[in-house]
Structure 1
Amino acid sequence: MVNIKHLKAFIALATELHFTRAAERVCLTQPALSSLIQQLEQDFGIQLVRRHTRQVELTPAGEEFRDTAEKLVADFEQAIYDVKTYKSIKRGRLDIAVLPSVCSSLLPRVLKRFNSDYPDIRLNIQDCAGQEIINALNEKRIDFGICYAQSDKEVEALTLIKDAMVVVCSDTHTLAKEKSVKWAQLANQPVIAMNKGTTIRTLIDSTALAQDMKLDIILEPMQMTSAFAYAEAGLGVAVLPSSGVPARMSPGLRAIELTHPVVERNISLLRRRGVALSPAGNILKQYLMEAVKGAE
């Protein structure tokens, strides 16, 4: 059966057109090289080289096969290199999906470090709602996700951070001077809540229902940046997760603890149960854990 040794022997002979020099080129004895060429011809059922007393020449079939053999060997060696560099995290790709609030807070500094250390790893980051992240994970479209979820029989969840719901409002708003705001105080306020289908909105709606209160939701942005802009313009108060509040928020905004009840959530790194992360995925996971620990 033809293998890589046969191909390398044939390429050496096609290059040197001399059995002894070709054998030296691939570190074989001359009889061993001759045997490989004979096996190759027998397997193909066609003569590839013509043997003369002092020289060798390729037959038309040998000339045609030379390009194919060189390509096969090059592809084989490239495949070996790719596997080795993948293991050493010198190349590869990571596909992850992350909640928008994490994209705007924790993730940027982690990605900056990762890109600096592993510039040849291609990162594909999707920011999307929690259910979309879980769907992408179950459909094997991403390596891991970061969102609000718990472990189940399909998904393993590793808690990264715990955040709480806060009120964000303009610094001229009547609530701006409060040290904390109770949910009941939102009953008579125009509220900016994230779009339906997001984990933030689900928490807001379920908490309001549990408190037997109806919120006057006037705006439902898809992006947290829009929620901040609406709040700063004085259109209402935004109910957002603390993880999405930047360390350097606009001076025209205030973030205030939301209490009675305090609504917390665990934001976790999710991966398919029983499926190991790639070497690059493990490094990014490590960087995330270190960033979270350093922020405590």
Structure 2
Amino acid sequence: MENNLRQLAAYAAVARAKSFTAAAARLHVSQSSLSRAVADLERQLGTLLLERDTRNVQLTVAGVEALRIAEQIVNSHRSGMKELERFLLGESGTVAVATLPSVAAVLLPSAIAGFRRQWPRVAMQIMDGLEQSVLGKVLSGDADFAITTGEPSGQLEHRPLVRDRFVAVLPQDHPLAEGPEVSWEALAREPFLAVGPESSVRRLTDAAFAQIGVRAAPAAEAGNVATVGGLVAAGLGVSALPALVLPLLGTGSIVHRPLVGPVVDRRLDIALRPRRALPVAAQRFLETLQNSRARQNDLPPGVSWAS
């Protein structure tokens, strides 16, 4: 294949210049090597492509068609190699990040905007989902890395990124909204609106209630935090959610107060496969996130950079 590509490039140069001498000068090769390359191509194709005499080079009918196809192949190869070079330099390609919906909607947009200003040829693929789905995307290789909750394991390396505090989410006129903070015990006495059991939020709220020795049986549960927010706004109960999801709840008639007794934080980590080199573009985006953490860039209320 490599020889064929050289032969096609040689032939295209001669056919365009209609001169072995001019084509050899353009390609910085000897005229004899160029002549051999064209002759070898004609031999392989079993047809004459060029009619030569001591002064002129003319294309045969087959030579005209061969020039068209040769230029397509050579230009495609050249374009592909340039694209590969840009990818290897981290200047193109796709960065695939698996993450929770709250991270995708609230934390990542500003980081992506800054990254794309510097590397506009790099595309971003955001795969948002629940905790286990997100971790599975990294383990399967579909995602370069994840930003998610989950206990560290031997399968993935975890690097702390941010923490967000759990808050009580209440109807605007609820009695618990009158104070500056709400206890988990007080929240448990109200109709509790829970996120579905597949969610990391549910795992953490169940753990918080267990820590104080109470069980808050859900009055209703929904798979989406925005749905839970809608139920709260309708006055159907109260909920507990991490601060990063609050922008996803919409503009309904809800308020939130810090939860205490205990204070519960959700830690969000960067999770990636250990001992596996990331593509250059993915490594650069990861550095963008880590630089934001190092500079202590502003975060939404209730969210802080993890140490």
- Using structure 2 for the length normalisation, give the TM-score: 0.84
Alignment pair present for 1:258 and 2:259: yes
Residues 100, 224 of structure 1: 8 Å contact kept: no
Q: Which moved more, 1:209-218 or 1:76-85?
A: 209-218
Confirm or deny: 8 A CA contact 1:191 1:215 kept in the other structure.
Answer: yes
Percent identity of paired positions between Structure 1 and Structure 2: 28
Q: Where do residues 83-102 of structure 1 align in structure 2 (5 Å cutoff)?
A: 83-102=84-103
- Note the C-alpha offset of 1:60: 5.0
* Cα separation, 1, equivalents of 2:172 and 2:141: 44
How many residues are paired up? 296
- Residue equivalent to 1:168: 169
Match of 1:179 in 2: 180
Aligned-residue offset at 1:239: 0.9
User: 2:194·2:221 contact (CA, 8 Å) conserved in 1?
Assistant: yes
Does 2:119 correspond to 1:118? yes
Task: Show the counterpart of 2:232.
Answer: 231
- Distance (whole Å) between structure 2 residues aligned to residue 213 and residue 274 of structure 1: 43
Q: CA deviation at 1:42?
A: 4.8
CA–CA separation in structure 1 for the residues paired with 2:63 and 2:152: 60
Deviation at 1:13, TM superposition (A): 1.2
- Contact 2:226–2:248, Cα closer than 8 Å, also in 1: no
Distance 1:150 1:57 in 2: 72
- Residue identity opposite 1:237 in structure 2: V
Deviates more, 1:246-255 or 1:215-224: 246-255
1:27 is matched with 28
* C-alpha displacement of 1:240: 0.4
Q: Distance in 2 between matches of 1:74 and 1:80?
A: 10
Shift of 1:182: 2.3
SS at match of 1:193: strand
TM-superposed CA distance for 1:46, in Å, is 5.2
Which runs of structure 2 are paired with 1:131-150 in the superposition (5 Å)?
131-150=132-151
Shift of the 248–241 alpha-carbon distance from structure 1 to 2, 3 Å rule, reads closer
CA contact (8 A) 1:2 1:43 kept: no
| Separation of aligned partners in 1, 2:25 and 2:156 | 56
Over 6 Å off, 4+ runs = none
- Range that drifts further, 259-268 or 246-255: 246-255
Counterpart of 1:103, as a letter, is A
Tell me, which stretches of 5 or more residues in structure 1 are unaligned? none
2: CA distance between counterparts of 1:262 and 1:141?
A: 35
Q: CA deviation at 1:206?
A: 3.3
Describe the shift of the 1:201–1:248 C-alpha distance in structure 2 as closer, same or farther (beyond 3 A). Answer: closer
Q: Aligned residue for 2:301?
A: none
Letter of the 1:215 counterpart: A
Alignment of structure 1 residues 1-296 onto 2, 5 Å = 2-42=3-43, 47-59=48-60, 61-246=62-247, 252-292=253-293, 293-295=296-298
Q: Is there any run of 5+ residues in structure 2 with no aligned partner, and where? A: 299-303
How far apart are residue 189 of structure 1 and its match? Answer: 0.5
SS at match of 1:93: strand
| Letter of the structure 1 residue corresponding to residue 101 of structure 2 | P
In the TM superposition, residue 136 of structure 1 has moved relative to its aligned partner by: 1.5
Give the deviation of 1:193 after TM superposition: 1.5
**Equivalent residue letter for 1:97:** A
Moved more, 128-137 or 29-38: 29-38
| Matched residue type, 2:130 | A
Letter in 2 for 1:188: R
Residues 220 and 119 of structure 1: is their aligned pair in 2 closer, same or farther, counting only changes over 3 Å? Answer: farther
Shift of the 193–104 alpha-carbon distance from structure 1 to 2, 3 Å rule, reads farther
Give the distance between the partners of 1:70 and 1:224, measured in 2 at CA.
Answer: 56
Root-mean-square deviation (Å) = 2.7
- Alpha-carbon distance in structure 2 between the residues aligned to 1:108 and 1:206: 31
Find the residue that maps to 2:240 and give its secondary structure. Answer: strand
State the one-letter code of the partner of 1:52.
D
In 2, are the aligned partners of 1:160 and 1:269 still within 8 Å (CA)? yes
CA contact (8 A) 1:147 1:267 kept: yes
The alignment partner of 1:149 has SS state of coil
Q: Is the CA contact (8 Å cut-off) linking 2:167 and 2:241 kept in structure 1?
A: yes
